[in-house]
Amino acid sequence: MRAVVQRVSLGEVTVEEKITGSIGKGFVVLLGVGQGDTQKDADYIADKVANLRVFEDEQGKMNLSLSDVGGSVLAISQFTLYGDCRKGRRPGFTQAADPDQAKTLYDYFTERLRQQGFEVQEGIFQADMLVKIYNDGPVTMLLDSKRLF
């Protein structure tokens, strides 16, 4: 499972000109599910998102987590995180999970964050979405449950 986590002052997702999710301070999480991912991968990513200390404390150091600042999460399904661009000019997506598996694990991920007390807003799975991201910092983290960067 892969995630791009962006610290934001505002995040919003629109589908067919209707806002389906909106947050203030927190994280926009672009989440991709890969072949062979399980609930263990979703647990790992959810735990990282919940506990990343990338918000500034009183001294201006990145030392506070999402819960420390009362932040929210805007979760966006993003199968293109598994796009393989190594050959040619058109990405291949054979490493991405099939839509049923991806939806199940995406829903599990968002539920894990809600169980920890976080407000989680969402886009619509497999929809064409317009995502507004006001990246604060900018701070962007890449997470992968299978490998290190």
Per-domain boundaries in the chain? 2-144
Catalytic site residue 80? yes
Active-site annotation holder among 39, 80, 115, 126:
80
State phi, psi for 103 to the nearest 5 degrees.
-65, -45
Length of the chain: 149
Digit-by-digit pLDDT tens for the chain (149 residues) are: 999 999 999 999 999 999 999 999 999 999 999 999 999 999 999 999 999 999 999 999 999 999 999 999 999 999 999 999 999 899 999 999 999 999 999 999 999 999 999 999 999 999 999 999 999 999 999 999 997 54
Domain 2-144 architecture: 3-Layer(bba) Sandwich (3.50)
Instruction: Name, in order, each residue with C-beta under 8 angstroms of 74's C-beta and a sequence gap of 6 or more.
Output: 8, 11, 12, 13, 21, 22, 23, 26, 27, 28, 29, 120, 121, 122, 123
Catalytic site residue 78? yes
Active-site annotation holder among 6, 78, 110, 121:
78
Q: Kindly report the pTM of this predicted structure.
A: 0.94
With residue 65 as reference, give the H or E element that holds it: none
Active-site annotation holder among 6, 27, 55, 79:
79
